[in-house]
Amino acid sequence: MSETPMNHAELRVQATGLRLHGLLAHWSEVMADADAAQRVTQWLRWEAEERGRRSLERRLRDAHIGQFKPIADFDWSWPTQVDRAAIEELMTLQFMADATNVVLVGGNGLGKTMFACNLGYQAVLAGRTALFVTAGQLLGDLAALDSDSTLRRRLRHYAAPDILLIDEVGYLSYSNRHADLLFELVSRRYQHKSTVVTTNKAFVDWGEVFPNAACVVSLVDRLMHRAEVVRIEGESYRAKEAQERLAARAKQRRALSGRSKP
C-alpha cells in the first residue's frame, strides 16, 4: 500500500522538473483517478525521454566533435607505447570530478585526436557540456577580436564547457598575443573545469610553439599542475592505412588486368 504514494511522489518530482505547472495545479484530482494517473505516467515518461534526446542532440551539436573513430575500433597493438589502462580510466570521466587536465602527447597519426573526441563524446553522453576546437581555430578566433568586451564574451564562451578539447597544439607557431590569450583561457578554467590538450611536442619544446612569449612557463605550469599526461609513441597509423589501401588497389588492378587478357 505504501508503494503507490512513493510512485506518485516521484512522478510529481518529475513533473516539477519538466515545469508542467498546469498539471501540478490539478495533481491531486488527476492522481485520484487510476486511469488518468496511468496516462500521466506514460506522458511524463515520453516527455522526459524526448527532452533527454533533444538535449543530447543539442549538446553533441554544440560540442563540434564531428566524425571520429570509436575507441572500441582502436588498434592498441599498433603504437610502440601507449598506456591503455590510463586511457580507459580517463574514459570513465573521473578526472573531471576535480577539474584535472589531460594532455595527450605524441606524433602524427597515433590516435591523440581520436582519444580526445571519445572523451568529449563520453562527457556529452554523461550529461556534461563539451567543446572541441583546434588550437589554430581557437587562437585565430580570439586574436581576431579587437573589442575588449567582445573578447571577454568569447573567452567566457570557451571557458564555459565542462570539458574543453584543444587539438593540435604544436603544429603551428604563434605570436606573443596568441600565447597571452591561451594563458588567459587556461587560467579561467584552472582548478574549475577540465581541459584536454593534444600536442606533438613535449612541454619543454613549447617555447618553439610560442617563441619569446613570457607566459609560456606559467601556461605550462597551470596545465601541468593537475594533469594526466599520456604519451603515445610509434609510426603513423594513418600512413599505415594509406599504404594498405594502395596495396589493395594495386592488387585489385592486377586482378582486373589479368582477367582482361585473352
Contacts of 8 (CB under 8 A, 6+ apart): 31, 37
Residue at grid coordinates 582486373:
256
Which set of grid coordinates corresponds to residue 128? 556534461
At residue 133, the pLDDT reads 98
> Which tens digit of pLDDT belongs to each residue from 70-95?
999 999 999 999 999 999 999 999 99
Other beta carbons within 10 Å of 260: 7
Distances (CA, A) of 102 to 86, 112, 120, 150, 214: 11, 11, 12, 29, 23
Q: How far apart are CA 54 and CA 59, in angstroms?
A: 9
> Which tens digit of pLDDT belongs to each residue from 189-235?
999 999 999 999 999 999 999 998 999 999 999 999 989 999 999 99
Q: What is the mean pLDDT of the chain?
A: 90
At residue 260, the pLDDT reads 63
Other beta carbons within 10 Å of 129: 17
Q: What is the pTM assigned to this prediction?
A: 0.80
Q: How far apart are CA 143 and CA 172, in angstroms?
A: 15
